[in-house]
Amino acid sequence: MSMKKIGVLTSGGDAPGMNAAVRAVARTALTSGMEVLGIRRGYQGLLSGDVFEMDLRSVSDIIHHGGTMLYTARSKEYNTPEGVQKAADMCRKLGIEGVVVIGGDGSFRGARDLTGAGIPCVCIPGTIDNDVASSEYTVGFDTAMNTAVDMVDRLRDTTESHDRCSVVEVMGRRCGDLALLVGIAVGATVILVPEVPFDFQKDIIDRMQFTQKTGKKHFIIVVAEGVGGVTELAHKIEESTGIETRATVLGHVQRGGSPTLRDRVVASEMGYKAVKLLESGRSNRVIVVREGKVVDLDITEALAMKRPFNKELYDIALKISI
């Protein structure tokens, strides 16, 4: 057996399903004869040595909980060459020979740097944004989408009752995936994403007025966080159409809640595979979904990939929500 002790941390924005990944990592490592240290608050906890020994029961009763039992953070100090060196020194002091990092693209960059500083890492994509270019899927995305759909369905009830227009902002940072899929699922008349430029008159007002002529009286417009400006947009729509318009930012509620089956299952498989890679002496890898399968890639290669946007699906959405 190549490694005796590994650490596991969650980093960046929390995502439902992170706990299932932590559970799989801990159980796989422990049953393979390794010691496991839970590192609290991501790289921040690594800098301060905030760790605890995990046993099989440390991860009981967490698979159905949102958030992360390890807590998470965004660490400015770690994001410096000195910070990475300090974290690597702390790993050596604690006897941590490898780390499983569960987080998004930012956390992957941190893992690449830690591997470079002599501590082998393997990453698992955990973020509600689905913005990890190398993976078709990130843990947390399914739960966040379903939460957002549930909330927009509620908005629709009141929007319909008042013959209004609702402009809803969903998360996703610079990625439009959450907005695209939620937009389709709620039948939004307009979906605005950072990947597709839009014209206010043609893509919003003309579309609304066309559907109005065919009898439509209420409207849902889904806007990705990366486009933003929903309050101003709502004012402009009301001014141009005379339709009473309200803006809603769904915000951090999208990050919480019990993970869906998909997030629990993908996280579990990824957690298992991450530990098996470390066990076999392979590091600087990221576990990803490609062509529907859970596989692994080199982190540096993975980080160089460009995220494709599903324009075909976007065009379909426009054709049917009219």
Does 16 bind ligand ADP (CB under 6 A)? Our answer is: no
Does 45 bind Mg ion (CB under 5 A)? Our answer is: no
Does 74 bind ligand ADP (CB under 6 A)? Our answer is: yes
- Is position 171 annotated in a ligand binding site? yes
- Is position 129 annotated in a ligand binding site? yes
In angstroms, give the least distance from the CB of 103 to ligand FBP. Answer: 7
CA distances from 102 to 83, 118, 210 (A): 19, 19, 46
Other C-beta atoms closer than 10 Å to the C-beta of 160 total 14
Other C-beta atoms closer than 10 Å to the C-beta of 55 total 12
Does 141 bind ligand ADP (CB under 6 A)? Our answer is: no
Burial of 265 (0-12, 13-18, 19+ CB in 10 A): middle
Contacts of 150 (CB under 8 A, 6+ apart): none
Taking CB under 6 A as the binding criterion, the range among 60-68, 108-116, 233-241, 272-280 that sits at the site for ligand ADP is 108-116
Residue ranges in 228-287 that form contacts with ligand ADP under rule CB under 6 A = none
In angstroms, give the least distance from the CB of 100 to ligand ADP. Answer: 14
Does 104 bind Mg ion (CB under 5 A)? Our answer is: yes
Residue ranges in 182-201 that form contacts with Mg ion under rule CB under 5 A = none
Where does this chain bind ligand FBP (CB under 6 A)? Answer: 12-13, 104, 106, 127-129, 171-173, 225, 255
Burial of 157 (0-12, 13-18, 19+ CB in 10 A): exposed
Q: Residue 129 catalytic?
A: yes
Nearer to ligand FBP, 12 or 183 (CB): 12
In angstroms, give the least distance from the CB of 223 to ligand FBP. Answer: 13
- H-helix segments, the chain: 18-31, 42-48, 81-94, 105-116, 141-161, 177-186, 206-213, 230-241, 261-279, 299-304, 311-320
In angstroms, give the least distance from the CB of 108 to Mg ion. Answer: 9
> Site size for Mg ion, by CB under 5 A?
3
Taking CB under 6 A as the binding criterion, the range among 103-111, 133-141, 182-190, 193-201 that sits at the site for ligand ADP is 103-111
Contacts of 24 (CB under 8 A, 6+ apart): 267, 268, 269, 270, 271, 272, 275
Tokens of 268: 């579990």
- Is position 4 annotated in a ligand binding site? no
CA distance 17 to 233: 34
> Site size for ligand ADP, by CB under 6 A?
17
Contact 121, 29 (CB under 8 A): no
In angstroms, give the least distance from the CB of 72 to ligand FBP. Answer: 8
Positions annotated as catalytic residues are 129
Annotated binding site: 13, 23-27, 74-75, 104-107, 127-129, 156, 164, 171-173, 213, 216-218, 225, 246, 252-255
| Chain residues in the site for Mg ion (CB under 5 A) | 104-105, 127
Annotated binding site for Mg(2+): 105
